[in-house]
Amino acid sequence: MIAHSERRSVDDYYDIPRGEECKQLVEQLNRNLFTINSGLQGTLKQMTHLDSRIGHEIVSLSSCLQENLSKCTTSYAPHEEQLVQLDTAKRNLKKLTSLLEARAIFDSEDGQTEKLKNRAIDDSLLPTLVAIGENLRIIRELGAKPRFDAESFHQTKDRYLTWKGTEFAMKFDGGLDEIYEAFATLNSVEDFYRLYQYHIDQSLSSLLQKVSAPELDEKPKSIKIWGQQFLAQAAEHFRAHLASICKYCDENEGFEKLLEAWKTFLKNGQMEKVMEMAMDEYLDYQLLNDLKSLLIDSEEDSTESPENIEKILISGILESAKSPLASKLSKMLENPPFNFAKIVEISTNLENFLYFLREISHQIREIYGESQEKSQEYLKSQILRPIFTDYVQKLGRMEENSAKFEEFLERIALGGQMLLILEEYQEQIGFSNENEVKMARKWMGERVKMAIRASHRFVTDKMPNHGSEVYHEEMDNFPKSALPTPQDFVVTATQNLLHLLRFWEETLANETAKMAISEYFKQKSENPAENRSSAENLEDEVLFSAILDKIAAFVVKKLLQSINDVWKSKEQPGKKLSKNLMKEFLCDAEYLRDALIDLRAGTHENLDSTIEKLREQIKNM
């Protein structure tokens, strides 16, 4: 039995490693024991540190409690109710401070004004801001005198607190005295006035949006309706604020502050935007009538005073209306047609434009006053000149379609209408020779010029040919049968001219066309300034003679050109000019000269010199 037991125990330890393996196992066990021991040591140190820290906190809290208890037992300690109020105020200020720190405001004095103005009241601040005035009252009752100098004021959060407090107080009509005292304590009363002006700007913006917004299921309000509502309420608003701010300064200074706020409100452009939107609804001159309805009858008094507040407001509103009004009037103008296909349509368009110039000039002078230099400059530079320039440029781009001779004559009357428009324009802006005036005169002159060119074609296109191919002479054979006789040329020219002049007589019977023709020849004269005043008094015979002289000059030019072409052909080999051919030339030229004299077309020196030259040539042949 004993042998069996010994054998069993040996078998039980038979799997224990021996040698090197046993040595490695022991080393691993030692390392594990060392790690466990180190961890226990670290835990013990942490517990010791925590124990000492807890003890320190207990000592600090005990000291704070003892200090507070000692204060509460002093003879001058506040009442329990005041302590509760003070604690509430502290909590409110703590909340406000956390909000201010989150916004990271007012690190320095410079560059913060715009950032401050653009920040709206946050609803989360309202409960805290309500306590501001109450906090100041509590501090006063406790006998505390907070001390701040200007430098620390600009570097702390107190500036934002007083700013928002003032904005809130003015918005809800309470606590303004306390807030003014806070600004005075902070040595920054100017900020108080500036904030007050900012509040007026916001209140006027709200008022403008309210009165100009259309009612439910209704059309947009006219300028007359919302303008009069805004004037009445803004004047009342202005006087209420004047009474409020005068508690902190004299009346003149308070009025100046409010006047600056009104001008700032106009500069921000909101009134101009509302005007622009309202004017988009108008399609005719009722727009000018509604603007005129805002004017009030009062004695001429340009002084800026509380008694003239309505006039000050109206002046500002009309000033804001200038830019959108100029843009709207330009859009209201009807553009001219694209071409000359319909003379009646063009004439109606020019007539409407003339009425447009007269109407807007008259009404704008009534609205803005005739004697004010700024109003006159506005009428000239922002309304009349841009509109007139644009209209004349569009006229200049009209397409010149092919037309009959009679249609060119009809277009002359359009030039006369342009002359009336030009006279009206220069009457409004004063005599001018700017580019737009030059463009208008050019367009007007082209109507007469094109009609004269059509007259050239009407006369010369039907005349016999007098080119070199007809007049040249072979060496031995001269084909006389191919030559037109002098009578053929003169008769044809005379008949065409007589037929043409009947059309011109009808054209001159039209007074508007007659004005355009007179202006055209006046500009072509050597001394246009001398004829400027007498252009309207030119008689029909003078104009008729001038027109005929223009046409006859072209006929003479064509004949002389033909003669010169033939003259040059004698230099070609195999060709020469005979004496008979020279006589044919001379007869043509003399008959044409006599015919033009009979028609009272005047004399032409180039024709006379050519006749003398032909006579000399015939003598020498």
Pick the most confident of 96-105, 207-216, 555-564: 207-216
Say what the pLDDT of residue 65 is: 64
**Of 149-158, 363-372, 499-508, the least confident:** 149-158
Among 278, 166, 300, 195, smallest CA distance to 230 is for 278
Q: Is the pLDDT of residue 325 over 70?
A: yes
CB 411 within 8 A of CB 353: no
3-class DSSP state of 252 = helix
83: Cβ–Cβ under 8 A, 6 or more apart, which residues? none
The whole-angstrom separation of Cα 95 and Cα 253 is 37
Spans of all domains in the chain:
2-72, 80-187, 330-459, 462-619
Q: Which stretches within 268-381 are classed as H helix?
A: 270-279, 286-292, 309-332, 343-368, 373-378
Say what the pLDDT of residue 419 is: 93
Angle at 564 between CA 563 and CA 566, to 5 degrees: 65
The whole-angstrom separation of Cα 163 and Cα 580 is 111
Assigned token pair, 415: 């030039």
pLDDT tens track for 178-222: 667 766 766 667 877 877 787 788 888 888 988 888 876 677 888
Eight-class DSSP state of 537: G
Q: How sure is the predictor about 77, in pLDDT bands with cuts at 50, 70 and 90?
A: very low
Could you tell me the pTM of the whole model? Answer: 0.64
Among 462, 341, 325, smallest CA distance to 400 is for 341
CB 192 within 8 A of CB 248: yes
Say what the pLDDT of residue 455 is: 85
The whole-angstrom separation of Cα 23 and Cα 492 is 145
- Mean pLDDT for the stretch of residues 357-377: 82
Eight-class DSSP state of 339: B
Pick the most confident of 33-37, 109-113, 257-261, 596-600: 257-261
**Of 105-109, 401-405, 462-466, 525-529, the least confident:** 105-109
CB 227 within 8 A of CB 287: no
Distance of CA 490 to the CA centre of its chain: 64
Distance of CA 206 to the CA centre of its chain: 25
**Of 495-504, 526-535, 605-614, the least confident:** 526-535
pLDDT tens track for 429-439: 877 778 899 99
Assigned token pair, 550: 């223009």
Among 479, 483, 490, smallest CA distance to 466 is for 483
What is the Rg, in whole angstroms, of the alpha carbon atoms belonging to the chain? 51
Q: Which own/partner contact pairs does 263-269 have at CB distance under 8 Å and 24+ positions apart?
A: 263/316, 264/197, 264/201, 265/200, 265/201, 265/204, 265/205, 266/316, 266/319, 266/320, 268/201, 268/205
pLDDT tens track for 18-31: 667 777 777 777 78
Q: Is the pLDDT of residue 70 over 90?
A: no
- Distance (Å) of CA 40 to CA 28, 33, 34, 37: 19, 11, 10, 5
- Mean pLDDT for the stretch of residues 482-496: 61
CB 556 within 8 A of CB 453: no
Assigned token pair, 437: 């005036």
Cβ density class 21-35: b for 16+ within 10 Å, e for less: eeeeeeeeeeeeeee
Pick the most confident of 283-297, 365-379, 540-554: 283-297
